[in-house]
Structure 1
């Protein structure tokens, strides 16, 4: 795909037959859109008015409308749904309509931002510049001004006289000021940027000034690589080497290890893992490029936030992140060939936009999250409207990433194709026909014990054994669960089911995850409170519950190996209570260590965990069902558990390694075409050069 031209969506192509999960009305509505069906729209499960039904009708029906005026959806809801419908149908609104839509809130703004480059190309820079000037004259809030300036900078438009832009570059709010700086730099007016005397700068602003002035990137001269592909991979949520704290999960460990392994494949010359750095993190360390291992670098993307940015906040930083990524990609001393993104969020779309501007190939790993739960979560009484809006936004972002990507991958176990991926992403039928979807197996890094292995093992086991051996005549089973403290991981549901089912009488429950209390965020604090409430009525359960803050990956795997040691008197099993796991790397690590495991039947775990053969699959949809699963887990006798654990360990060690994953990915990266002039930045500059006057 040459992304210097407007990319048609799959709605413009000849539809093909594609299997559909017709029992799910949301999935059926998406399939109906891409089939361009002329039949009746899918029927919804609920007979009463339903916000999900109204929004899906507006977003996916061919006419973009509803059977009547909405009763639950707001005017903004319907306007956003129709905008998304137009984007999926390659019917981009003109620039002035895009600008007028900006009063629809943050989610509408994100959709407008994605539509904007196509609107500029279709309707021309004069029309776009006039629309931006109209919006800026009427803008009432700093956020609106910043957003309009961001749109101007992203497309090299000049909607304001230089004097007005200079005033904003000094006296505007922080976001407005930075957007004005980027717009000045876009027109080589760097010498007009305010000096330190005119404005007190912090580390973020000093770094921004340096990047605007094309100051050399410290450490970039070290990116001297042998022949081969230079790959970038994004890990914008959480910290790379601190799994279990805040937003950091197993993916952080996977990508760190994967980057190391990719650089050793022979086909990949080097890897750049892109992470975010908030203002406090930049104050502590302003260096943006760090060497992790030979051939693997960490590129820190500055984000103007007082804390680690959350996924739902990335939309407000989208153009700044896209600008930073494109600028830093070009400062490495050697061009990046391929960028790989995995999450469907605004941050991923920001770096995908940077890839387009810089002319990089783009690979996207698609997962049906939150697609597979839309109907179940939101087609019920009492569904949370804002949660629905956020989920539909993520579905839209995934569609846009698929539309932009040169290659779309699925997650598979071994060589299996991911079950039902075409049903959740019917546009893939147009890309692949009836052929297989390209996949890559997930994998875990090799176990590397901590340097103080013996002493650390004793420390980790001491607190667990103190509880388990309190009554030597009745030694309970240890249930271990590892993961960040987050509602989707459902540690609170696990504890409640453990108490309500009476399983606490037969077991000790050890939860590993979350930041230390002094560093925890509001989500972690809320989860701890709910866990406390779950054991409040049972003093005995409180005594048998152990909460440990997040451990390093080496320590977690040392603990798992120690608990699985057959010489120990205390038997142990692993439980993952998540609402769903797209793959479940923590489950695989427990399997590799030799523990018998139980994981959720929803998501990717059933790809490798066969109930009753190498572990147990749990219904984690509610506390009662999970409690029944825990009772079953505790009732498995030791002999049967050992057989299941050995099978699981053999599978994990033979099939699921980050090294094998790296080899497969290297083949995918090598096949992404490297096309000259693929980026849109040069194309937009060409358009702008034809329009020197302000409209």
Structure 2
């Protein structure tokens, strides 16, 4: 098409998501025609005010293999616009190393954040050919840096230099008790990656004799030094499947569901892992002489250093559903801020997968730092990846574009916060390199994947499988039974004490109203604050009380604080009870299930039966909490796009609406309250039967089993073809 024609297409694209996809064409044209005029056109574009097109031009410039283009890209590291500096740091990773860019990139590393992570990644890519120069530059940079956090980032970057020159400096930092603990920890962790060095092993052994965090990390480093990767052997037992979500401390009891980033995905992974290894999911077909049942599921999440070390003992020989924890940082970090933990996450994931002995399939589900780190480990260890691909953040970009909250002119500022450009590219890369992709059901799945994500699932349908998520109906049914018993006066029924304590704080005139309930994380995407605002500012508050189940109210994260501030502005904390707002915080999964059941069956004198469940998410790719509410028998309000539109019958089992629009959300919730009493028993049974027929966790496991078996069989065939199997 030519550079100018392609640039015009990016500039005039009707939707932001279209322009982002067309940026790949711009980069292709720049590589195809790396002439002086191409460079001038891109330079003029980068100087412009359309921030979306500016970013596209920066990445296109990286594809021009020309000294002038490389110099220009290097100079952009000092641009006045922060988003340009960020994308230049990222784009340089696609070019040959430039010595004049090393110092500016190290400066960005010391600043930290997402930009620092991208700069560090570029330097890591370059270190293979200029490692000695990079190590010297880092040592020089350390002289002028006193801030412990900045020094820690520089030492971590030094640890990525594989050349021997880095080893003495890392040892010096690790052993220097005048250094900040974080700096020493970064050096110790990096030394664990330098196998074959007797001196490193001896020095780490002395650190293990101490106490505290440095000794704990030194123990893990010694483990890293001594791990001998287990060879893949054909014909040994069933399959091992690894899955991960690093933004939650996942435990089998799901005690922290709804706190921080610990949402529906944590619940799903626990239930799914159990179902995959259950006896009734065992495979009945074989590949050669191998059994192909899933014998072991390894679920990885975050956790402390001592716990991570203890996990290694159980992971290697355990079967069934086992858990491993990756030590990320002393304090929990929200997912949006976790990108700088890429190196730490990668080391922890590598350690666990090595300890597992053999992993046949790694299933990734999100475009986050966990997947970014895990895919590197999978590539290194030769583990095939299954990726659940969804239009995220594509759907959010589309919604914000539609409302006018995201514009081309201000795209760069938003991207600095949300990392939309990076996350969309990560989704595309994960999907393109996966051995198999799994997709959620959507009303227009093929169209959405093509237009939003840029994937044509019709071209190679054998590489894609549609799998619906599922819920544990046993938990739901037991909760409904318990709530019904409690409603009839069975005082011995457990799980309702704290709910009753909250209800007792309501004024007399609010007792006996139905409840609008919602369950989930306190995060902008989940729309919790929006729901409180529309409830408080409309007649909805006169018709029903509002129950918010989710969030860490005692020690909220940054995302939770933002939502709580909006909630407090709509309903001041001192007025919550008098106005009918019940802020319950996060609860164990089984407790939340019982409370939802109480919203349905009611509590005489306190809660009217036939309340409703409202999902106010900006987008919902599938909706585990929605399905749990429907299985409970609640009428639901749900987004009219994405997964919910495939299973909510509008006007029958729920109300579909544009949940991102406050007026539409208000109207839909009002309509739901009016519908909830109509044929309630019949409608509740219809919802329950639908979930039972289509969306159980056992059904999900049964659908994923053949995917894992096919991927493992294909990988085994590849290994046999290359002579890698003994």
Instruction: Give yes or no for TM over 0.5.
Output: yes
**Given that residues 106 and 120 in structure 2 are in contact (C-alpha distance below 8 angstroms), is that contact kept between their aligned partners in structure 1?**
no
2:247 counterpart of 1:237: yes
1:111 alignment partner in structure 2:
118
C-alpha contact 1:31 1:423 (8 A) present in aligned 2: no
Match of 2:494 in 1: 456
Alignment match, 2:715? 674
Query: Which of 285, 307, 325 lines up with 1:300 in the alignment?
Result: 325
2:273 is the counterpart of 1:259: yes
Which of 593, 603, 607 matches 1:557?
593
**Would the alpha carbon gap of residues 368 and 459 (structure 1) be closer, same or farther in structure 2, given more than 3 Å must change?**
same
Cα deviation digits, residues 221-273 of structure 1 (max 9, x gap): xxxx9711111100211232221122211111110010111112322110110
Match of 2:196 among 188, 205, 210: 188
Cα pair distance change 1:164/1:82, threshold 3 Å: closer
Whole-angstrom distance in 2 between the partners of 1:530 and 1:405: 40
What's 2:569 paired with?
Answer: 533
CA-CA distance at 1:676 after TM superposition: 10
Give the aligned partner of residue 87 of structure 2.
Answer: 81
Q: Which has the higher contact order (CA 8 A, sep 6+)?
A: 1
The CA distance in 1 between the partners of 2:469 and 2:89, in whole Å, is 35
Structure 2 distance, partners of 1:465, 1:77, is 49
Give the Cα separation in 2 of the matches to 1:184 and 1:145: 16
Aligned to 2:133: 130
Of residues 450, 454, 478, the one that matches 1:422 is: 450
Structure 1 residues without counterparts, runs of 5 or longer? 1-20, 42-47, 679-695
User: What is aligned with 2:222?
Assistant: 212
How far the C-alpha of 1:651 sits from its partner, in A, is 1.6
Hey, what does 1:507 align to over in structure 2? 544
User: Which of 287, 291, 295 is the equivalent residue of 1:269?
Assistant: 295
> Is 1:390 aligned with 2:418?
yes
In structure 2, the partner of 1:228 is 238
Paired residue for 1:6? none
User: Aligned partners of 1:674 and 1:348: how far apart in 2?
Assistant: 20
Alignment partners' CA distance in 2, 1:25 and 1:541: 43
Instruction: Give SS of 2:438's match.
Output: strand
> Any conservation in 1 of the 2:519–2:625 contact (CA below 8 Å)?
yes
User: In 1, distance between residues paired with 2:119 and 2:705?
Assistant: 35
Q: Distance in 1 between matches of 2:272 and 2:351?
A: 25
**Residue 578 (structure 1) shift:** 1.8
Q: CA deviation at 1:114?
A: 4.8
User: Are the aligned partners of 2:195 and 2:226 in contact in 1 as well (CA < 8 Å)?
Assistant: no
- Alpha-carbon distance in structure 2 between the residues aligned to 1:61 and 1:614: 52
Match of 1:18 in 2: none
Matches within 5 A, 1:611-690: 611-636=650-675, 638-639=677-678, 644-672=683-711, 673-674=714-715
Please list the CA deviations of residues 375-407 of structure 1 after superposition, one character each: whole Å capped at 9, or x if unmatched: 614217877825554333322333443354333
What's the counterpart of residue 94 of structure 1? 97
- The answer to whether the 8 Å contact 2:138/2:158 transfers is no
Deviates more, 1:172-181 or 1:644-653: 172-181
Contact 2:59/2:91 (8 A) holds in 1: yes
Gaps of 5+ in 2: 1-11, 31-37, 42-47, 283-292, 486-492, 720-726
The alpha-carbon deviation at position 116 of structure 1 amounts to: 6.0
Q: Distance in 2 between matches of 1:306 and 1:540?
A: 34
For residues 603-633 of structure 1, the C-alpha deviation after alignment (integer angstroms, 9 at most, x for no partner) is 4322322322431013222433322222222
Q: 1:133 to 1:440 in 2, by over 3 A?
A: farther
| C-alpha separation in 1, matches of 2:694 and 2:500 | 33
Q: Distance in 1 between matches of 2:100 and 2:366?
A: 29
Residue 163 of structure 2 corresponds to which residue in structure 1? 157
Whether contact under 8 Å (1:598, 1:617) holds in the other structure is yes
- 1:648 to partner: Cα distance: 2.5
The 1:130–1:539 alpha-carbon spacing in structure 2 relative to 1, beyond 3 Å, is closer
Q: Tell whether the 8 Å contact from 1:149 to 1:176 is kept in structure 2 after alignment.
A: yes
Of 379, 385, 391, the match for 1:362: 385
Distance in 2 (CA, whole Å) between partners of 1:163 and 1:61 is: 38
Q: What is the distance in 1 between the residues matched to 2:62 and 2:170?
A: 42
Deviation of residue 585 (structure 1)? 0.7
Partner secondary structure for residue 671 of structure 1: helix
More divergent stretch after superposition (111-120 vs 239-248): 111-120
Give the structure with the larger helix fraction. Answer: 2
Matches within 5 A, 1:270-349: 270-278=296-304, 282=307, 295-303=320-328, 305-332=329-356, 334-349=357-372
Contact 1:410 1:421 in 2 (8 A): no
Distance 1:386 1:441, change over 3 A: same
CA 1:537 to 1:384, structure 2 compared with 1: closer, same or farther past 3 Å? farther
CA displacement, residues 450-481 of structure 1 (integer Å, 9 cap, x when unaligned): 79885225536635765889349x95332111
- Match for residue 724 of structure 2? none
Query: Match of 1:441?
Result: 468
- Aligned residue in 2 for 1:17: none
Q: How many positions carry a matched residue from both structures? A: 628
Contact 1:355 1:361 in 2 (8 A): yes
What displacement does 1:119 show? Answer: 4.8
Residue 621 of structure 2 corresponds to residue 582 of structure 1: yes
Q: CA deviation at 1:367?
A: 1.9
Q: Distance in 1 between matches of 2:447 and 2:188?
A: 47
Q: 1:169 aligns with which of 174, 185, 201?
A: 174
Shift of residue 213, structure 1, vs aligned partner: 4.3
Instruction: Report the Cα distance in structure 2 between the residues aligned to 1:327 and 1:197, rounded to whole angstroms.
Output: 20
**Separation in 2 of the partners of 1:52 and 1:382?**
8
Residue of structure 1 equivalent to 2:407: 379
Matches within 5 A, 1:588-603: 588-603=627-642
Deviates more, 1:370-379 or 1:591-600: 370-379
Return the alpha-carbon distance in structure 2 between the equivalents of residues 636 and 96 of structure 1.
Answer: 68
Contact 2:496–2:595 (CA under 8 A) maintained in structure 1:
no
In 2, Cα distance between equivalents of 1:383 and 1:542: 42
> Counterparts of 1:298 and 1:238 in 2: how far apart (Å)?
12
The 1:268/1:434 distance shift into structure 2, 3 A limit, reads closer
Q: Spell out, residue by residue over 1:390-432, the C-alpha distance to the aligned partner (whole angstroms, 9 max, x if none).
A: 3333223334433543333222269x84651232332x34994
Instruction: Say whether the 8 Å CA contact 2:482–2:594 is kept in structure 1.
Output: no
Instruction: Determine helix, strand or coil for the equivalent of 2:522.
Output: coil
Determine the structure 2 residue equivalent to 1:13: none
Distance 2:674 2:438 in 1: 39
Contact 1:326 1:357 in 2 (8 A): no
Aligned-CA RMSD value: 4.2
Separation of aligned partners in 1, 2:457 and 2:637: 38
